[in-house]
Structure formats: C-alpha cells, structure tokens
Amino acid sequence: MVNTTQPVADLTPAPAVKKLQDERLKEVSLLTKIMRRPELGALAGLILVTIFFFSTADSSMFTLAGVMNILSPAAQLGILAIAAALLMIGGEFDLSIGSMVAFTGLVFGAFITLSGLPLIVAIAATFVVAAFLGAVNGQIVIRTRLPSFIVTLAFLFILRGLSLVGLKWATGGSTQMRGIGAQSGEDWVREIFSGTALEGLFSWLAAHDLIAKFPNGTPTVTGVPVSILWFIGMALAATWLLLRTRAGNWIFAAGGDANAARNSGVPVDRVKTSLFMLTACAAALVAILTVLDAGSTDARRGFQKEFEAIIAAVIGGCLLTGGYGSAIGAFFGAIIFGMVSIGLTYTRFDSDWFQVFLGAMLLLAVLFNNFIRRKVTGER
C-alpha cells in the first residue's frame, strides 16, 4: 500500500552540506538588502541632520573639539539606548532606566563615601545591585504577565523616590552627595571609568600638526572621553551579539512571538530577564561614568533619560511591538540626539526647538519603521 523502502536513517542530514551557490541569489538587489536593514532610517536621519547643521551652524561645530562636545552627551544616552534597543527587540520596555541611573548613582556614591569601599569593589557591587533590580523588574513582568510598560513605570517612581529619600538620609538632608571623586582614588580602575583616553595618540597627532593645538603645543582636545569609548564598544558588542550569536537569535525570537519561540525551545523567560538586567547595568554604567566625572551625584540624575533612550532606539529602527531593530541603529539615534541638542547652540536658533525636533523625529521614525516593516515582511 505504501512505499516504505527508504529507511528512516536516511533522514539524518549529511554533515557537510554541499553549498548550493545559487545563481538566483544575485536577484536580491542591493537596494533590497539596504532596505532590509533596520538602521537605515537612523543613518538617513543622521545624514540629514549633519547636512542641516553644516549649512546653518557655526563652522566650529565640526572641529574635533566640537565633535567631542556632541559625542559626550550622545555616549551617555547611547549606552542606555543600546540596552533599551536590545530589550525592545526582546519585546519589552524599561521605563525605569532614568531613575535607575539616579538610584545606582546613589548606591555607588554610598559605597564610596559611607562604606569606604575600594573603587573596584564599589563598582562591582553597584553592578550587582543594578542586576538584581533588573532581575526583579523582569521576574515581575514574566510572572504576572503584566505589560512591562506598567511594571517599569511603577519602578520609575519607586526608584526616583528612593533616590531622593536615600540621598537625604545619607547626606543628612541634602539631595546632592559630594566628595565621591575625592574618595575614589586615582588608580587604573578610575582611568577606565573617568577622564579621557588615548592622550598619547592625541599629543602625537598635535605634535605632527594633524589636530589643533594651543601655542604651547598641547592639543586643544587632550583625548577621547572614556564614555565615548564605552559607547562605541557597547554598540559593537551588542551588534555582534544580536546578529551573530545564539542569544541574539533568541532575543529576536522572544520579541517576535514569545509563544512560537517557546514552542521551538527558546528559553524566553531567561532571555527577557537577562535583558532587564542588562538595561539596569547600562544605567549603572552611566551612573558610574557621570558620578566619577562630576565627583558628585544628585537626585535628578538620568531624569527623563528613559524616554530619550526609547526614542533613540525607535529612531534606530526598533519596532514598539518587538522582534525587530538594531543596536547600531540606536547608536546612530543617540548621535542624532547629541548632535541636535548640542548643535542648536552653534546656530542662531533657540535651543528650545530641541524638544519640538525630538517629538517630530520620533513620529517620523515610527511612521518610517512601520512602512519599512510592511515592505520587508510582506505583511499586509
């Protein structure tokens, strides 16, 4: 009745699969390939914004010093935005990022000034606290099945409130904690988390007249602020994680359709919890970087950064519904932010236009993303 001549064993795949170098592959045009990249919108936006400032801003904006001025705020936001982007791709939001910056800043400051811990221990302990808080966020979202929007909105207020209360308690009534910089020493750990890097390279460049220098020979820009290096490093690491690793595939799957992912054996809950821990640790990193630079912390640290981070992620191509987006897009999104917020001061425009620009950019990005998604996936 039925042909069963072929044994089941034949089904196991041959270990070496012959490469089918298909001539049809060439039909995928370069345009389609570019259109398929989620960060396309952010890159286009960055080019437009650059052109705009080239034609309107003072020429000092695009000197080396000017670029560093733009990249510094972009880096702080970008570290948050890249983590937020990964979490959004994984299908969740974290609105507590901004408050987390203030709270972990307080925790870090307290470890240094009140406990007198060595800097390296204080930093490690701060990350542990942040990771724990992120895990709490994640577990509540997973176990209650409530939208992460609501759960982390609650933490936005809880952590901000705790930062205020904690600061007053730790300082005896003030909402600012000083003296952190003085007590954190000057060892190599401090070098990693504050100040500038690549000074040698910059003096060499200045000595060879490749960058601007003062009459006495020191370069006008002595080095790259370490936050910018963290920002770039994180963008590269996150991109590699997303596009090349198992965890990356699981992040896309968890955000695309958690049920389907679970059916296929993806540990969705573990992926999401790890992402919440990552955003919290990114907030802690920003807190440590800014606190060490300023030498103090206060209760308004990271105020509204959660929205800016999410906006940068959306500009970078992340869908609000999850399952699609890119880390390098968030990188560009954060640079756009930095360029506009700082760039407006180089123009004759009122810098309060920044907020108008922000909203308009967000709206445009969402519309553009939806259009691209339909185009790419054939969704109707």
Contact positions vs other proteins (CB under 8 A):
1-4, 6-8, 10-13, 17-20, 22, 24-25, 27-28, 36, 240, 244-246, 248-250, 252-253, 256-257, 259-261, 263-266, 319, 323-324, 373, 376-379
Q: Tell the smallest beta-carbon distance from residue 234 to other proteins (Å).
A: 15
CB nearer other proteins, residue 46 or residue 89: 89
Three-state secondary structure string covering the chain: CCCCCCCHHHHCCCCCCCCCCCHHHHHCCHHHHHHCCCCHHHHHHHHHHHHHHHHHCCHHHHCHHHHHHHHHHHHHHHHHHHHHHHHHHCCCCCCCHHHHHHHHHHHHHHHHHCCCCCHHHHHHHHHHHHHHHHHHHHHHHHHHCCCHHHHHHHHHHHHHHHHHHHHHHHHCCCCEECCHHHHCCCCHHHHHHCCEECHHHHHHHHHCCCCCECCCCCECCCCEEHHHHHHHHHHHHHHHHHHHCHHHHHHHHHHHCHHHHHHCCCCHHHHHHHHHHHHHHHHHHHHHHHHHHHCCEECCCCCCHHHHHHHHHHHCCCCCCCCCCCHHHHHHHHHHHHHHHHHHHHCCCCCCHHHHHHHHHHHHHHHHHHHHHHHHHCCC
Q: Which is nearer to other proteins, 11 or 31 (CB)?
A: 11
Least distance in angstroms from the C-beta of 263 to other proteins? 4
- Residue with smaller CB distance to other proteins, 12 or 216: 12
Query: Quick one: 168 or 244, whose CB is closer to other proteins?
Result: 244
C-beta of 240: minimal distance to other proteins in Å?
Answer: 8
Nearer to other proteins among residue 4 and residue 216 (C-beta): 4
Q: How far is the CB of 313 from other proteins (least distance, A)?
A: 16
**Of the two residues 269 and 293, which places its CB atom closer to other proteins in the complex?**
269
Smallest gap from Cβ 25 to other proteins, in A, equals: 6
Closest separation between CB of residue 27 and other proteins, Å?
Answer: 6
**Nearest approach, Cβ of 329 to other proteins (angstroms)?**
15
Complex with other proteins: residue 143 or 246, whichever CB lies closer: 246
